[in-house]
Amino acid sequence: MSDGDTANRMWGGRFSSGPDAIMEEINASIGYDRKLYTQDIAGSKAHATMLGAKGIISSDDVAKILEGLEAVKIEIDNGHFVFKRSLEDIHMNVESRLAEIIGPAAGRLHTARSRNDQIALDFRLWVRDTLDHLETQVSDLMLALAEKALANADTVMPGFTHLQSAQPVTFGHHLLAYVEMLARDRGRIRDARQRLNECPLGAAALAGTSFPIDRHMTAAALGFDRPTANSLDSVSDRDYALEALSTASILAMHLSRLAEEIVIWSTAQFRFVRLSDAFSTGSSIMPQKRNPDAAELVRAKIGRIAGAFNGLLMVMKGLPLSYQKDMQEDKEQTFDALAATSLSVAAMTGMVRDMTANKDAMRAAAGSGYATATDLADWLVRDLGLPFREAHHVTGRIVGIASDAGIGLEDVSLEQMKSVHAGIGERVYAVLGVDNSVTSRTSYGGTAPVNVTAAASLWLDKLRG
């Protein structure tokens, strides 16, 4: 329903009637771009101040505009502001209220500016704030993981490939793998932030302006490194939002993998970890259940996050320069996806912080599934001088004997071993235990507890420093 059926006061000059209700519904963005009011008002203050400094409007008008904008901001902060759909978007809602408060001086604010550079600015500022917050959140998650890793530097667990027991690793090493992934996510966030930090304000509708504005002044006032260099590009592109969404998608993919592992680890079959009550739910019918709902939801959030990346990519694809109304479709999905990303990181941080490792269950699982077979093969190479391919074959036969008998590798008798290769001696048993296995893997980046302690400590120093 239209809440103003007369011609729009912002461009009503050549319109004699207001929009159809459906036109208003499809056109209006105030339902969601009201989220940008802080950025919109900050941009207007910087613009008005610059217009005054350059003598384009009087200092009296600047003072009125700045005071009025502050009053509008307070009204919105306090929830007293009445948003009108007939005024379409945040820009016109703010300006119209400004006019009610300060009178005709409000009409001078839009000199040398257009809603096209205004929205390009507001959205860019919002994405920048959001990336900054996300960077802090990712650092917190890295810290939670590094702390857990240090506490579990020598907690032995099975390492998997193909989700089959492969070789023993330490739980700390496994968690630090995620710290490395998140560090790259954080790098992508910083990188995107640095690239977006140019100010589009002053590009006006598309071509720049004939007023003697100072774009460097507004850029500096709003914390940008510099103004954007091309007015058409300034109002046309949303690649900064796409970069934020692609970065968020990769981050969400990492979170989804960790979430899936937590789901597996917390099953009654694995029992590797126990989630706290605070991050589990029960079942209304099955009293024994502790469901990892938060992990499952984090696992799922990538759907909407990567969906938003694709959605905006499709909106932007094939658009001619410069501003097109299509681009109004950038906001809702970006808001939603980045909120989901932030919530996922927060939930994962809480789960990791509270989660307890069941060291006995992990150790028992690490020893099963012939996880030290590679250690046996390596021993045959090192001690008996066998070529690795032959050692692999000998080990395979010994694993066969153990598996037929339903026993572990360390329980195969020396005679049985000798029957496969006569050179094998008593010393072999030292490499068949899981502790020996992980302790021996001291190569750079390997899983040995001494490596894990050093790597976790290094991360903790960086993250706390």
Q: Which amino acids are annotated catalytic?
A: 162, 283
Torsion of CA 159, 161, 162, 165, to 10 degrees: -40
* Euclidean distance between CA atoms 357 and 350, whole angstroms: 15
Binders of ligand ARG among residues 67 to 96 (CB under 6 A) are: 89
Strands 356-357 and 273-274: antiparallel
Binding status of residue 301 toward ligand ARG by CB under 6 A = no
- Sign of the torsion angle spanned by Cα atoms 207, 211, 214, 219: negative
Could you identify the residue written with the tokens 């995620």?
178
Residue closer to ligand ARG by CB (options 20, 67) is 20
* Euclidean distance between CA atoms 293 and 184, whole angstroms: 27
Terminal Cα-to-Cα distance of the chain (whole angstroms): 55
Number of residues that bind ligand ARG (CB under 6 A): 9
Q: Return the range that interacts with ligand ARG (CB under 6 A); candidates 172-180, 263-271, 322-330, 338-346.
A: 322-330
Other C-beta atoms closer than 10 Å to the C-beta of 406 total 7
Binders of ligand ARG among residues 18 to 47 (CB under 6 A) are: 29, 33
Q: Return the range that interacts with ligand ARG (CB under 6 A); candidates 16-24, 98-106, 255-263, 323-331.
A: 323-331
Nearest approach, Cβ of 4 to ligand ARG (angstroms)?
Answer: 17
* Euclidean distance between CA atoms 438 and 169, whole angstroms: 6
Strands 226-227 and 198-199: parallel
Tell me the residue type at 59: S
Strands 273-274 and 226-227: unpaired
Of the CA atoms within 13 Å of residue 136, those in its CB half-sphere come to 5
The residue from 73, 113, 115, 193 that contacts ligand ARG (CB under 6 A) is 115
- Judge contact between 201 and 222, C-beta under 8 A: yes
Nearest approach, Cβ of 206 to ligand ARG (angstroms)?
Answer: 10
The residue from 44, 152, 322, 328 that contacts ligand ARG (CB under 6 A) is 328
Q: Return the range that interacts with ligand ARG (CB under 6 A); candidates 57-65, 73-81, 115-123, 226-234.
A: 115-123
Could you identify the residue written with the tokens 């090192």?
382
Residue closer to ligand ARG by CB (options 334, 358) is 334
Could you identify the residue written with the tokens 């509270």?
354
Name residue 274's beta-bridge partners: 356
Binding status of residue 349 toward ligand ARG by CB under 6 A = no
- Sign of the torsion angle spanned by Cα atoms 427, 429, 435, 438: positive
Nearest approach, Cβ of 185 to ligand ARG (angstroms)?
Answer: 28
Q: Return the range that interacts with ligand ARG (CB under 6 A); candidates 8-16, 113-121, 261-269, 397-405.
A: 113-121
Binding status of residue 236 toward ligand ARG by CB under 6 A = no
Residue closer to ligand ARG by CB (options 309, 323) is 323
Residue closer to ligand ARG by CB (options 81, 270) is 81
Nearest approach, Cβ of 3 to ligand ARG (angstroms)?
Answer: 17
Phi, psi angles (nearest 5°) of residue 150: -60, -40
The residue from 142, 302, 312, 327 that contacts ligand ARG (CB under 6 A) is 327
The residue from 119, 203, 355, 371 that contacts ligand ARG (CB under 6 A) is 119
Q: Return the range that interacts with ligand ARG (CB under 6 A); candidates 146-154, 226-234, 293-301, 321-329.
A: 321-329
Nearest approach, Cβ of 47 to ligand ARG (angstroms)?
Answer: 15
Q: Which residue is nearest to ligand ARG (CB)?
A: 328
Q: Which residues here bind ligand ARG, judged by CB under 6 A?
A: 29, 33, 89, 115-116, 119, 325, 327-328
